[in-house]
């Protein structure tokens, strides 16, 4: 094991805790870099080393992505308090969740589709703005799969969304929430997903 031979810098608050959480999970730097890339954060190996050494600044996008990948809260990365995220409040039997923000549209149809060992709950809304919500409870896995997705990244509160021009996807508590619509703007899709989030947590 190579030990750090340089003192920590003072350009960010999170570097030492990022390194600690990464090593606790047995994650190598290259694995963390791959996960960052999946989330739209392009960081070099030397950049990550400087981040962990606290000798480079950290962007808000990097902070959110690191918290999500390492399964820790933003607050813990910044302060060292409240390390673990709250335990999952969403179980398979809780699905589907219904959004509060529906932009005056009405729920016209619900359906359930099972394939590949996963169950997808589909909610179809129609009105001034038509959209479809798909909710899938993902199974926890110890294996890391890297998928390169050329998507735009958006964040809202503690949610990170990925938008590809026609749909928005957010992963939270091992549940993938996706909104498909030709009528909703990306920000409105995030509003739909965020309203489901608030309904569960509050």
CATH number where 36 lies: 1.10.260.40
Residues 146-179 have pLDDT tens digits of: 333 344 555 555 577 888 888 999 888 788 999 9
On whether both 41 and 106 belong to a single domain, the answer is: no
Lowest mean pLDDT among 42-46, 78-82, 110-114: 78-82
Lowest mean pLDDT among 36-50, 109-123, 165-179: 165-179
pLDDT at residue number 19: 95
> Is the pLDDT at 73 greater than 60, yes or no?
yes
CA distance 40 to 63: 12
CA distance 173 to 37: 21
Mean pLDDT to the nearest integer, 92-114: 92
CATH number where 125 lies: 3.30.200.100
CA distance 52 to 36: 14
On whether both 46 and 98 belong to a single domain, the answer is: no
């Amino acid at each position: 094991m190579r030990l750090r031979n340089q003192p920590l810098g003072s350009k960010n608050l999170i570097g030492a805790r990022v390194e600690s959480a990464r090593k606790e999970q047995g994650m190598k730097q290259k694995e963390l870099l791959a996960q960052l890339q999946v989330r739209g954060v392009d960081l070099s190996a030397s950049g990550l080393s400087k981040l962990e050494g606290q000798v480079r600044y950290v962007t808000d996008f990097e902070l959110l992505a690191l918290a999500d990948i390492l399964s820790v809260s933003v607050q813990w990365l910044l302060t060292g308090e409240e390390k673990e995220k709250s335990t999952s409040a969403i179980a398979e039997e809780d699905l589907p969740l219904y959004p509060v923000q529906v932009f005056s549209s009405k729920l016209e149809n619900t359906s359930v589709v099972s394939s590949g060992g996963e169950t997808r709950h589909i909610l179809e809304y129609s009105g001034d703005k038509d959209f479809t919500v798909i909710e899938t409870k993902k199974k926890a896995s110890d294996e890391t799969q890297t998928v390169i997705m050329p998507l735009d990244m958006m964040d809202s509160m503690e949610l990170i969304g990925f938008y590809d021009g026609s749909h928005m996807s957010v992963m939270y508590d091992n549940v993938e929430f996706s909104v498909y619509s030709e009528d909703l703007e990306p920000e409105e899709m995030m509003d739909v997903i965020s309203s489901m989030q608030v309904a569960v947590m509050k």
